[in-house]
């Protein structure tokens, strides 16, 4: 039971038009959670508005309702709900638009599952709980508060959970996560239908397949081949992103290479800023700490960061790889120490 539930219910009950916000780095959990909340609030007779300051990635366009997400916030609304982040820094576009003050002036709920400190100081209620996905928390709130879950809401919650848990395969997945998916299936969710819709969208043009081949040839292996890195310049982002996220084309292949423990995809934008998508293999949960070093965040196995200040890219890249190698080294030392401690205890 969530102690914040009653306060959340009060804000939702008193409001009619409610803005649902995702951060500037939308993913399957944030969009799935936002779309589920949209359905829940609509069923309750509310007027939900979906917002994100960045374009929804094309790989998520199989989710019905993705095109309802707007970059603008209405002048008249009663309350707002932020999903899948507790980090104020991830709303850079909201701040630039001048609309952040509108959100701060009204009642605000934050629903998140990331193990980070809340920096959205203007929120009235923060419900940040250990869970594999924000979608899991929304499901639990719906059960506790009696919120209606129509078929679409159930589909979106399942999508959110499966997205952040990588198909229930991350170590953050709990028995409860699996139980919730089972309850959703009992409630009518068809996992094969969701997966087929995703796979249909994943089909790639011959040009994109050729480009993937080029990216695979450009992968760099560092730190005794434990780290795989790729750099994607603006010209390629501009050309290929409308069809597919270039990072997502190869990052799983990078992780699947023998000996690789961590994969990093750098993107270089025309305004000089740099982003990094980080994915760690099982047993090497350093992605979140690496992103945190650069002011980013995420999960132990999936994270990212963004650097906007003017710094030479080679300097950023070198620092990132060095910090990643140090984190992996420390993890190995910790494992050795733990093993030695256990052996001593058994002696």
Position 59 pLDDT exceeds 90? no
pLDDT for 347: 59
- Tens-digit pLDDT profile for residues 295-318: 888 888 888 998 988 889 999 999
For residues 146 and 212, membership in a common domain is answered with no
pLDDT for 339: 67
- Tens-digit pLDDT profile for residues 332-346: 998 887 766 776 666
CATH of the domain at 154: 3.90.1640.10
- Tens-digit pLDDT profile for residues 112-129: 999 888 999 999 999 999
With cut-offs at 50, 70 and 90, classify the pLDDT of residue 203: confident
Q: Is 78 helix (H, G, I), strand (E, B) or coil?
A: coil
Structural domain of 83: 5-199
Q: Is-contact 296 306, C-beta < 8 A?
A: yes
- Tens-digit pLDDT profile for residues 273-299: 999 999 999 999 999 999 999 988 888
Q: Of the candidates 101, 93, 37, which has an alpha carbon nearest to the alpha carbon of residue 65?
A: 37
pLDDT for 346: 63
pLDDT for 298: 80
Position 273 in a domain: yes
Position 262 pLDDT exceeds 80? yes
Question: Which domain-ending residue is among 167, 199, 231?
Answer: 199
Position 347 in a domain: no
For residues 184 and 129, membership in a common domain is answered with yes
Cα 52 from Cα 81, distance rounded (Å) = 12
Position 346 in a domain: no
Question: Which domain-ending residue is among 177, 199, 221?
Answer: 199
> Highest mean pLDDT range out of 52-56, 78-82, 200-204, 248-252?
78-82
| Span 155-167, average pLDDT | 94
CA distances to 53, 276, 286, 304 from 291, in Å: 21, 8, 9, 5
Domain count, the chain: 2
pLDDT for 91: 94
The count of other CB atoms within 10 Å of the CB of residue 235 is: 10
Is the pTM above the cut of 0.85? Answer: no
pLDDT for 36: 98
Q: Is-contact 133 29, C-beta < 8 A?
A: yes
- Tens-digit pLDDT profile for residues 12-30: 999 999 999 999 989 999 9
CATH of the domain at 313: 3.10.310.30
pLDDT for 179: 98
Position 80 pLDDT exceeds 80? yes
Per the prediction, the chain carries an average pLDDT of: 93
pLDDT for 25: 86
């Amino acid at each position: 039971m969530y102690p914040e539930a009653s306060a959340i219910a009060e804000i939702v009950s008193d409001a009619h038009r409610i803005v649902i916000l995702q951060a500037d780095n939308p993913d399957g959990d944030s969009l799935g959670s936002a779309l589920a909340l949209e359905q829940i609030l609509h069923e309750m007779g509310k007027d939900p508005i979906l917002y994100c300051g960045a374009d929804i990635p094309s790989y998520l366009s199989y989710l019905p309702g993705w095109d309802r997400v707007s970059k603008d916030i209405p002048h008249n609304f009663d309350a707002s709900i932020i999903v899948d982040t507790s980090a104020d820094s991830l709303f850079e576009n909201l701040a630039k638009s001048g609309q952040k003050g509108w959100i701060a002036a009204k009642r605000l709920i934050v629903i998140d599952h990331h193990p980070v400190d809340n920096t959205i100081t203007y929120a009235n209620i923060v419900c940040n709980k250990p869970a594999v996905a924000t979608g899991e928390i929304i499901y639990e709130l719906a059960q506790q508060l009696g919120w209606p879950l129509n078929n679409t809401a159930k589909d979106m919650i399942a999508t959110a959970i499966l997205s952040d848990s990588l198909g229930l395969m991350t170590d953050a997945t709990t028995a409860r996560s699996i139980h919730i998916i089972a309850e959703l299936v009992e409630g009518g969710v068809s996992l094969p239908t969701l997966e087929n819709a995703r796979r249909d969208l994943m089909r790639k043009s011959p040009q994109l397949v050729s480009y993937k081949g080029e990216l695979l040839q450009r992968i760099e292996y560092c730190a005794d081949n434990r780290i795989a890195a790729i750099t994607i310049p603006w010209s390629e982002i501009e050309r290929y992103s409308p069809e597919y996220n270039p990072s997502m084309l190869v990052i799983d292949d990078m992780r699947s290479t023998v000996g690789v423990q961590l994969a990093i995809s750098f993107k270089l934008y025309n305004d000089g800023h740099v982003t990094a998508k980080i994915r760690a293999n099982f047993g090497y949960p350093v992605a979140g700490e690496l992103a945190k070093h650069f002011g980013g965040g995420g999960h132990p196995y999936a994270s990212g960061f963004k650097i906007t200040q003017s710094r030479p890219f080679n300097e950023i890249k070198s620092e990132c790889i060095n910090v990643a190698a140090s984190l992996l080294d420390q993890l190995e030392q910790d494992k050795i120490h733990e093993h030695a401690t256990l052996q001593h205890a058994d002696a």
